[in-house]
């Protein structure tokens, strides 16, 4: 559920449209391989049995029941989570059945940080933590691919929107107010 052109304001352009890193699919892929191996082992071990077909069918049903929460739901969650950066906002869209999202206008952002564990550093991903000038907690974007490049692009977007003045006007490009 990424932002589409119809969801953009006049003059707004998408700069980055990202999914979470592929590492989120490693666990479900391993579960799938184990489940297939389990069904294959059941088929090989019971091929000479009179009840072999029923046993393999029962094992396959159990494997399918385990595959839904262990493989299909995580893959669906990975496919439905998007991080979109435009020249005006940062957007996080996610959700399987109920779609959710949060946008932070660039002019509200006052801090951008990254967190990278050992595995994240090896895979080139990490968490981008964006704090804004509101009472709400900041936005944590987990498993962002090429997180350092994304942080640089976000900084470029922030500085492009800054008019250089420190007049306290929001948004920064808004004309000065009369006092």
User: Is 82 within 8 Å of 47 (Cβ atoms)?
Assistant: no
Radius of gyration of the chain (CA): 23
CATH architecture of the domain formed by 14-19+82-161:
Roll (2.30)
Domain boundaries, the chain: 14-19+82-161, 25-77
For the four alpha carbons of 151, 161, 99 and 80, in that order, the dihedral sign comes to: negative
The reported pTM is 0.77
Task: Provide the residue-wise pLDDT of the chain in tens; the chain has 179 residues.
Answer: 577 778 888 889 999 999 999 999 999 999 999 999 999 999 999 988 888 889 999 999 999 999 999 999 999 999 999 999 999 999 999 988 898 999 999 988 999 999 999 999 999 999 999 998 778 888 999 999 999 999 999 999 988 866 565 555 555 556 555 55
């Amino acid at each position: 559920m990424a932002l589409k052109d119809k969801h953009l304001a006049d003059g707004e352009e998408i700069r980055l449209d990202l999914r979470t890193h592929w590492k989120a699919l490693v666990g479900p892929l391993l579960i799938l391989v184990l489940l297939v191996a389990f069904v294959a082992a059941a088929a090989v071990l019971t091929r000479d049995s009179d009840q072999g077909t029923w046993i393999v069918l029962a094992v396959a049903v159990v494997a399918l029941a385990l595959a839904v929460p262990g493989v299909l739901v995580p893959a669906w969650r990975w496919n439905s989570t998007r991080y979109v950066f435009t020249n005006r906002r940062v957007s996080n869209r996610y959700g399987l059945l109920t779609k959710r999202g949060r946008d932070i206008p660039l002019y509200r952002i006052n801090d951008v940080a990254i967190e990278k564990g050992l595995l994240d550093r090896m895979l080139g991903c990490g968490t981008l933590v964006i704090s804004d000038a509101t009472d709400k907690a900041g936005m944590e974007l987990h498993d962002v691919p090429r997180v350092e490049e994304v942080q640089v692009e976000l900084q470029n977007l922030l500085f492009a929107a800054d008019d250089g003045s420190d007049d306290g006007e929001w948004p920064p490009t808004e004309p000065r107010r009369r006092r």
